Structure 1
């Protein structure tokens, strides 16, 4: 996450909320069954390993994540459960959304794997929505390797997940985003991970806002809004 994106988000949101955070972990969740989420991807620049992000495999040669996770030398790690036992990383070419500009909004990025993967029980893809106006299940799930407590460095060594309930769109930030709210959810280190609703990747973890002392509103990039751009990028490499 870039420092300028962090500062811009604080300035933009502070005036209308009692507290703001854009450090993203799964708080009050549970440990995932090893390799039960084969689409999950661990992403980092080996030169700055402490600034990791999540992502998810959407094709044998493409990973989706948040645009603010972009670094100069990103590597992706697939089939991961324990981040202390990472497999060999794969180099990528990054395609952040052209309208993303170090501020909230358009926070989506595709990573083209330089070496496509072979799908298996431990490495597989997650479906994307088919249309922008299709109904989305309100029963969702978020996951990642991030902090287990808000405001306290507590990275999880293994993948964790948490159930989330989608809010009505009128309670979310914009028409281009999805939101969940509660005392459980993403935190530092979970940026770029998916919001899975009805076995479909509907959102990308972008940032969250502290609305009460222990309650947080998490904002996700709405994937279906960006389907034309996604297809344009991916179809180039068919």
Structure 2
């Protein structure tokens, strides 16, 4: 299991430079209408250029995957095309202390040193309610990652894909949702949201190759609400 998890980390977190690829992205996805997902955040290490996705949950906090942590992260708000990045914002990273490079607890909060100014192109997405743990089956995933599982060619524009959760039961760990589908997030899509009914229910964490497709693992946000609010209220 640990070896498989190491392989999946390599699949979803990859070094890249903005605009290196052509119009690629979520496997099987299509180009998003520019700025139609204004909560999406592009995350990049300013030295290595490794990239992840995230989403704005408060003016001063972005949520992403813990395995995206590096030493020199910057976040970019209001991005549609990564060849036209605005000025990056420095952050303080708060990865979950129980994350151990395997399924489970793959969640991180990034506190913006300069809070966001909300607008038509920069908005906040809602988190689940603690008293309602139900997840709708018709969801949306998006990112600037690769359009192919086998090769890495990062997207310069945001792409998205409608997914239907076939089984919302947990897998691997109590806070992991798995969904098997031939299409979905790939390399470079880590940290992006699984949006169901306008709510950020999951965080793209990993995928596993199966005989007839891929299983995507999402960190279940509702399992970490207490930790999230503790960090944001520090």
1:47 equivalent in structure 2: 47
Q: Structure 1 stretch 222-231 or stretch 123-132: which is displaced more?
A: 123-132
The structure-2 alpha-carbon separation of the partners of 1:170 and 1:57, relative to structure 1 and needing over 3 Å to count, comes to closer
1:121-160 to structure 2, matched below 5 A, reads 121-131=120-130, 134-160=133-159
Say whether the 8 Å CA contact 1:193–1:204 is kept in structure 2.
Answer: yes
Superposed CA RMSD in Å reads 1.7
1:217 equivalent in structure 2: 215
Separation in 1, partners of 2:121, 2:192: 17
Say whether the 8 Å CA contact 2:27–2:183 is kept in structure 1.
Answer: yes
Say whether the 8 Å CA contact 1:169–1:175 is kept in structure 2.
Answer: no
Separation in 1, partners of 2:205, 2:177: 10
Say whether the 8 Å CA contact 1:167–1:178 is kept in structure 2.
Answer: no
Say whether the 8 Å CA contact 2:169–2:178 is kept in structure 1.
Answer: no
Local SS of the residue matching 2:226: helix
Structure 1 residue 10 corresponds to structure 2 residue 3: yes
1:4 equivalent in structure 2: none
Structure-2-length-normalised TM-score:
0.90
Separation in 2, partners of 1:133, 1:104: 24
| Structure 1 unmatched ranges of 5 or more | 1-7, 14-19
1:32 equivalent in structure 2: 32
Query: When the two structures are aligned, how many residues end up with a matched partner?
Result: 221
2:203 equivalent in structure 1: 204
Separation in 1, partners of 2:156, 2:104: 30
Shift of 1:122: 0.1
1:183-198 to structure 2, matched below 5 A, reads 183-198=182-197
Moved beyond 6 Å, runs of 4+: none
The structure-2 alpha-carbon separation of the partners of 1:226 and 1:60, relative to structure 1 and needing over 3 Å to count, comes to same
2:8 equivalent in structure 1: 21
Separation in 2, partners of 1:88, 1:183: 36
Shift of 1:9: 4.0
Deviations 1:179-221 (A, max 9, x none): 22211100000000000001000000100011125x1000000
Shift of 1:171: 6.8
2:82 equivalent in structure 1: 83
| Structure 2 unmatched ranges of 5 or more | 13-24
Structure 1 residue 74 corresponds to structure 2 residue 61: no
2:231 equivalent in structure 1: 233
Shift of 1:235: 1.3
Deviations 1:10-63 (A, max 9, x none): 3458xxxxxx634125101000000000000000111111x2000000000000
